[in-house]
Chains A and B, each alone.
Chain A
Amino acid sequence: AQKVTQAQTEISVVEKEDVTLDCVYETRDTTYYLFWYKQPPSGELVFLIRRNSFDEQNEISGRYSWNFQKSTSSFNFTITASQVVDSAVYFCALSAWGTGGFKTIFGAGTRLFVKA
């Protein structure tokens, strides 16, 4: 079975602090894809990053960075020098072939509050 766990329900930080959002996944597939999405209050999902199971190279994009470790089935997301505009719900997601075809499932989400 596929599963995504985001153990942190809510995180509150002060602006300019660094914050790491955790994501642990489960799948039996050898080929799968991991994603992070941001969901602001408007509800629309904003794509942040995609990683496939064969690429463990970490990535940095501006203030965002991602750490993918297959050995621990984790795909953590770090925001450096957080800003108020980073306040949103962040979802980690897994896409893989499961029963019934290729699907994307989501973790429970982490609500990030960045205070000025």
Chain B
Amino acid sequence: GAVVSQHPSWVICKSGTSVKIECRSLDFQATTMFWYRQFPKQSLMLMATSNEGSKATYEQGVEKDKFLINHASLTLSTLTVTSAHPEDSSFYICSAYLWDSPEAFFGQGTRLTVV
């Protein structure tokens, strides 16, 4: 099956700094990728849809200036958490679809801790 890889798997950063998370489709091209956030013991909440070569589409309530998404190539989308604060600590997961399949392939997730 298709493989989606996220990096890093976990990161600890100081409050006020920015953190970049990468999501790569390893063996297929993905014009669209999705970013989810999962707080402890909660569900995955869709944050935004990342579109290759164009602006991301953010879900209601997600601050686009805080969560910067760049989808510069067909195999890479990045999520940058700017000026991170402890309340941004969460598990972030990306996903992508094969062009002919409705099944989403998920990265292994990135656990962000802001101290």
| Residues of A near any B CB (own CB < 8 A) | 33, 35, 42-45, 47, 50, 52, 91, 95, 100-109, 111
Contact = CB atoms under 8 A, between A and B. Distances in A.
B57 A44 contact: no
Contacts of B111: 43
Q: Is the interface of B mostly helix, strand, loop or mixed?
A: strand
Interface stretch (B13-21, B72-80, B98-106): B98-106
A35 B106 CA distance: 13
B82 interface: no
Given A45-B109, A106-B44, 12 more contacts: A33-B102, A43-B38, A43-B93, A43-B108, A44-B106, A45-B93, A91-B43, A95-B104, A100-B49, A103-B34, A103-B49, A111-B41
Nearest to B36: A106
Contact of B106 (A45, A50, A52, A101): A45
A47 B46 CA distance: 18
B67 interface: no
B108 A47 contact: no
Contacts of B36: 106
B28 interface: no
B43 A33 contact: no
A43 B34 CA distance: 17
Given A95-B102, A104-B95, A44 B108 contact: yes
B109 A33 contact: no
B43 to A, nearest CB: 5
B101 to A, nearest CB: 9
B102 A50 contact: yes
B107 to A, nearest CB: 8
A8 to B, nearest CB: 13
Given A45-B93, A91-B44, A104 B104 contact: yes
Contacts of B38: 43
